[in-house]
Amino acid sequence: MGSAIFPLIATLPCPLLFPLNLFYSLQLVPLFIFIGGGTVMSGAYLLRLAMGPHVSWNRNGNPEPWNKTEPTQQHKFYSVNMDYSKLKKEGPDF
Amino acid sequence: MSDVIEEKIKNYRTAPFDARFPNTNQTRNCFQNYLDFHRCNKALSDKGQDVAPCDWYQRVYKSICPMSWVAKWDDQIEAGSFPGKI
């Protein structure tokens, strides 16, 4: 596949400034960009889940972390048209 | 305090927005209110107080939860096999 590019390169108007082996491996750079980007994004999502009150990680120690937040705290990543200065709604007990 | 709750229960229309569950999936909202109702009943009756304020949670979960879920959980509570912590 890469060798099919060779005739095309031979017709380039400018002189080649790097060896052809380097050119072939440079073709792989977009692959690394996308794989690296995907890894970064999934890692960032895992971090967000770990830090925030979204998931119960420790069933015995901290079973329901979303109950420990203020009623005015935003849990979504991005919200449109939402005024988060609301009141807590029920009979406090237990 | 309890007359504020009574007022709110009297003027109840539907379950209000809960910042803990802002997205479309309200499953956890339903389950949390069901749990809170039973925990509230248990806590207030242990303390010997009137359990009327707990009706707020009951109104909310009856608004949100599918009836089949509520029936299933009620049966499980009677049978002693309910998986949540009350």
Q: Supply the ipTM of this predicted assembly.
A: 0.79
Domain count, chain B: 1
Predicted local distance difference test score (pLDDT) of residue A14? 67
Predicted local distance difference test score (pLDDT) of residue B4? 82
Question: Residue B49 sits in a domain of what CATH number?
Answer: 1.10.10.140
Residues A18-38 pLDDT 10s: 788 888 888 999 999 999 999
Query: How many Å lie between the alpha carbon of A72 and the closest alpha carbon of chain B?
Result: 7
Confirm whether B48 is domain-assigned: yes
The domain containing residue B32 runs over which residues?
A: 25-86
Residues B10-50 pLDDT 10s: 888 999 888 889 999 999 999 999 999 999 999 999 999 88
Say what percent of chain A tops pLDDT 70: 73
Confirm whether B39 is domain-assigned: yes
Helices (H), chain A: 5-10, 20-26, 29-51
Q: Inter-chain contact B8–A89, Cβ cutoff 8 Å?
A: yes
Give the nearest chain A residue to B12 (CA atoms): A89
Q: Which of residues 23-62 of B touch A (CB under 8 A)?
A: 23, 28, 32, 36, 39-40, 42-44, 53-54, 56-57, 60
Per the rule left: phi > 0, alpha: psi between -120 and 50, beta: everything else, A85 is: beta
